[in-house]
Amino acid sequence: MLTALIIAIGLSALVGILTTLDAVKKSMTEAFSSMGANSFTIRNRGIGIRVGGGGQRPKPFRSIKYEDAINFKARLNAPATVAISVNASGGATAKYIQEKTNPNINIMGIDENGLNAQGLNLSLGRNFSLVEVQGGNNLCIVGSEIATKLFKKESPLDKIINVGNHRLKVIGILESKGQSMGFSGDRAVFVPLLKAKLINTNSNPSYTITVMVVNNAQMDNVIGESTGEFRKIRKVKIAESNNFEIIKSDAIAQTLFENLKYIVLGGIAIGGITLIGASIGLMNIMLVSVTERTREIGIRKAIGANPAVIRKQFLIEAVIICLMGGAFGIFLGIALGNVISFAMGGSFIIPWQWITGGFALCVVVGIASGYYPAKKASKLDPVEALRYE
């Protein structure tokens, strides 16, 4: 049972880590699919995600100005919808009468397509109109956490709140979505794009342009048209490379998926080291078992058991010990992995491929650990075995 427990610990570490990674992948896939798979962004720098290893930081280009973004939106002639956004302020406090939030509120400037581009939905109220976006009206759409904190059970619509040093009228409430990539829409205040330009605390903000394509088959064509049009706006010469980055919506997810392989290798290494130790312990236990059961082996041989039967007996015992430990370890690993998955807001996951692989690994470890003791037992002389002790 102790040997089986060692095997269980090794497999639970392995299956637990891999189940957690499957949960992470599933959660990320759902998060990015909600933002729309048929979209890309134009930014002044790359996403710069690195998990371990070396590499260089993404080169930042000069900021994308408000005028650049507006001109691009007006001039792009392609089957796509353009949305513009900017981070106006971070660490602000929202107040309503006596109630106020912690100083962790982000103020985001968006246009009439901004909510759709970020995969955000309204639970109450309405979106900004084109006139309000261009006029910079003192309006806002707030996240669900802010609405709950400031208004309790009162309706937030048409109420005036103070965000930083600005008085804004609430016209919409967002559905709760949680945090993604360090940004939480639940703790954000969205204002019309021109209003964000006026209140921006950054002296040189860079605007983000999101282009949503109708059909994924047209993605490459729209990216080509967008690149050419934005190069004209930024006055990039023919011989020069782009001074901006175009990033597909699933690029972040794909980058993270590629880097998660290092964590997978780490999990396999942890499980492998533990299983090697368990296999050595199991071999030792089986050798002791052969010594202690020498008379039993002699009696079996005396009544007709051949070496193949003796080998099979000890191999089956070794494999069964491994499978007992493996079954418990796989169950424990799936349980631990799904606890983490639920904590991340994910769903229940059964990693069938890792379960199958785990049981196959148990059989291999059992055969590798039990073969030498089984061979030693099969070669015992029956007369000497009967005279043992």
Question: What's the DSSP call for residue 127?
Answer: P
**Range name among 221-230, 290-299, 341-350 with the lowest pLDDT average:** 341-350
Whole-angstrom CA distances from 341 to 23, 65, 153 are 5, 40, 31
Instruction: Give the residue, 291 or 71, on which the prediction is more confident.
Output: 71
pLDDT at 18 over 90: no
As a whole number, mean pLDDT of residues 76-85 equals 90
As a whole number, mean pLDDT of residues 201-223 equals 85
Question: Strands 139-142 and 166-174: what pairing?
Answer: parallel
pLDDT, residue 209, reads 92
Which has the closest alpha carbon to 53: 334, 261, 228, 290?
261
Which has the closest alpha carbon to 112: 132, 98, 86, 91?
132
Cα–Cα distance measured from residue 259 to residue 49, given in angstroms and rounded to the nearest whole number: 9
pLDDT, residue 49, reads 47
pLDDT, residue 31, reads 62
Cα–Cα distance measured from residue 101 to residue 146, given in angstroms and rounded to the nearest whole number: 7
- In the three-class reduction of DSSP (H, G, I as helix; E, B as strand; rest coil), residue 322 is classed as helix
pLDDT at 180 over 60: no
As a whole number, mean pLDDT of residues 138-156 equals 89
Q: Could you tell me the maximum CA-CA distance found in the chain, to the nearest angstrom?
A: 103
pLDDT, residue 108, reads 92
Give 49-73 pLDDT, tens digit per residue: 444 444 455 567 888 999 999 999 9
User: Which residue do the tokens 């860079």 mark?
Assistant: 206
pTM greater than the 0.95 cutoff: no
As a whole number, mean pLDDT of residues 301-308 equals 85
- In the three-class reduction of DSSP (H, G, I as helix; E, B as strand; rest coil), residue 91 is classed as strand
